[in-house]
Structure 1
Amino acid sequence: MEGVGSALGPLFLLILLGAGLGRWRQPGGDFWPQMERLIYFLLFPAMLVSTLAGADVGQVPVARLALALLGALGLFGLLLWRLRHRLRLDPAAFTSTLQGALRFNTYVGVAGAAALHGTAGTTVAAVAVALLVPMVNVLCVISFIAAGTLGTASLGRSLGALARNPLILACLAGIGLNLSGIGLPGWSAATVELLGRAALPLGLVAVGVALRPAALLRIDRGVWVANLIKLVLMPATVLALALLLGLDPVSRDVALLFAALPTATSAYILARQLGGDAELMAALITGQTLLAMLTLPLWLKLVG
């Protein structure tokens, strides 16, 4: 536990620093919304391109990693959809519950993988992001469509946003540069790498700023279901699949880490824009982020 705690402890402290800055409203104005846009549209894509363009992806068991992560994601997405009537959630609450159960905080995942396993962990994490981000976004948009919370205009905008998702585009660019053998030529490699280094610490602080402690007062069926899947059942399933598939220790740890991550802070914006229950989403983001400070080290300690 000491090794896991030493790796993850600084990440959680950065999140708590962000929570303090958010509570004290420092810096003021629209600084943090603008910073989140910079991280999402420039810094984090730069990190993904830098990692994937020069990574030895051949050392990552992509097929088995995909089977473990996407298999569990599809399983719980289908399970939630089949149980939607029994859960007795209105359409808006159901879409937020599904986002809470399936989405993951990419910043915490990549930072955690780097802290645990260095460059090897970052490479596997980048591959995990390339696998998970498209599927998670498709499943969540489908849930909004199927639940009937979207109008025609909103549907068009959401599909357009999916096609322009900077993380998806960055993964495609990085993989394309890698497979072509071009990589990042000349000074561009060092420049993009420097940009990417700023993404993780700033992203973790931004996660803390986005927390809404007042939302923790909401405890209902949607909160219990999403938290149970996200923090208990999803990591247990991915760990079982990882062991069954014989993943190497680095890939196994990163797969488990991504399965046990709290939901993404961006889910709140999506809930507001596409007709979800934004208050439920705020409760899930805040609660899961705080709970994950306890559950993530426990899951990683379980695999040694």
Structure 2
Amino acid sequence: MESISGALGPLFLLILLGVVIGYLRWPSTTFWPHMERLIYFVLFPAMLVGTLATADVSQVPVGRLALVLLVAMGFFGLVLWYFRAWLRLSPAAFTSVFQGAVRFNTYVGVAGAAALHGSAGATTAAVAVALMVPVVNVMCVASFVAAGTLGSSSLGKSALALAKNPLILGCLVGIGLNLSGVGLPGWSQDTVELLGRAALPLGLVAVGVALRPAALLRFDRGVVATNAIKLLLMPTLVLLLAWLLGLDSVSRDVALLFAALPTATSAYILARQLGGDAELMAAIITGQTLMAMVTLPFWLKLVG
């Protein structure tokens, strides 16, 4: 359990570093918007390509794992849309609540899985990433389109926005390289991995830069709903599905871990790029990361 807390702690400290940098407005107020674009269009896609292109999936029950993770994610996405009117949120705020409920922090998931089950856990986590990242990005970008935060775009332009999403493209490239057997030959693997490593720390600092401490005091139906789904209800459903489908202990633990993770730092980048409530998104990320320090060990101890 200490390995999970150890993985989350540094992430939160990087967010706090961003808070300090943002308060000092260093190096300038115009620097971080450009950095956000670099993270969104280059660094995060590189991280996805590097993860997916070299994953060994032969020892993982891919079908059952996909069923557990994608059914849970899709179910709670539909639940949120069904109760959208009851939540009484602006379109921008709703997209942030939606992302907070369905996205997950890839770094913590892979690091936690490796700490719990070694190479078998890391491989299963890579498969989970390959299954979930394309689906969750389509779901989240579609939520922006449906909520209208992209403006008065036509259906064709909205579809184009989905097709050009760099995170989805990164997943498709990584999966294609894996299935073709090409992988990342020569220097390309080291180059892509170096780029990918920069995505997480810079993304976390960017979250902190935009964070407003007062936003953490926001307490409405949307915040309660997104936190309850992500940290309590999603893990409960995944644990039930894993039991019904007879997942082995490694796959069950990794599925539960990914279901109970705090939302992804890339959710903030997406909110900034596509018209979401970025301030609320930053508060949700920080709040969930803090609460997950308690809830993640609880869930993993429950099945352990």
Shared fold per TM-score greater than 0.5:
yes
Matched AA of 2:170: A
The aligned residue for residue 41 of structure 1 is 41
C-alpha distance in 2, partners of 1:252/1:204?
Answer: 28
Pairwise CA distance, 1:156: 5.0
- Inter-CA distance 63–211: structure 2 relative to 1 (3 Å threshold): farther
Pairwise CA distance, 1:271: 4.8
Unaligned 5+ runs, structure 1: none
The farther-off stretch of 115-124 and 57-66 is 115-124
- Inter-CA distance 273–22: structure 2 relative to 1 (3 Å threshold): closer
The farther-off stretch of 151-160 and 218-227 is 151-160
Secondary structure of the structure 2 residue equivalent to 1:57? coil
The aligned residue for residue 225 of structure 2 is 225
Query: Is the counterpart of residue 129 in structure 1 residue 132 in structure 2?
Result: no
Pairwise CA distance, 1:31: 4.0
8 Å CA contact retained: 1:101, 1:226: yes
Q: Deviation digits for residues 73-126 of structure 1, max 9, x if unmatched?
A: 111122222233444445554443323222333444344445545554444333
The aligned residue for residue 181 of structure 2 is 181
C-alpha distance in 1, partners of 2:118/2:159?
Answer: 35
C-alpha distance in 2, partners of 1:199/1:274?
Answer: 19
- Inter-CA distance 107–39: structure 2 relative to 1 (3 Å threshold): farther
Pairwise CA distance, 1:67: 0.9
The aligned residue for residue 72 of structure 2 is 72
Query: Is the counterpart of residue 164 in structure 1 residue 150 in structure 2?
Result: no
C-alpha distance in 1, partners of 2:189/2:106?
Answer: 22
C-alpha distance in 2, partners of 1:247/1:223?
Answer: 32
Query: Is the counterpart of residue 245 in structure 1 residue 245 in structure 2?
Result: yes
Matched AA of 1:240: L
The aligned residue for residue 97 of structure 1 is 97
Give the number of equivalent residue pairs: 304
8 Å CA contact retained: 2:3, 2:115: no
RMSD (Å), alpha carbons: 3.2
The farther-off stretch of 208-217 and 227-236 is 208-217
C-alpha distance in 2, partners of 1:243/1:47?
Answer: 32
C-alpha distance in 2, partners of 1:230/1:138?
Answer: 18
Q: Deviation digits for residues 13-62 of structure 1, max 9, x if unmatched?
A: 33433344334444444444444433333333333323322221112222
Pairwise CA distance, 1:226: 1.4
TM-score, with structure 1 as normaliser: 0.82
Secondary structure of the structure 2 residue equivalent to 1:153? coil
8 Å CA contact retained: 2:142, 2:162: no
C-alpha distance in 2, partners of 1:259/1:225?
Answer: 15
- Inter-CA distance 123–32: structure 2 relative to 1 (3 Å threshold): farther
Pairwise CA distance, 1:229: 0.9
8 Å CA contact retained: 2:87, 2:221: yes
C-alpha distance in 2, partners of 1:197/1:118?
Answer: 20
- Inter-CA distance 11–253: structure 2 relative to 1 (3 Å threshold): farther
8 Å CA contact retained: 1:223, 1:283: no
Unaligned 5+ runs, structure 2: none
Query: Is the counterpart of residue 291 in structure 1 residue 296 in structure 2?
Result: no
The aligned residue for residue 61 of structure 2 is 61
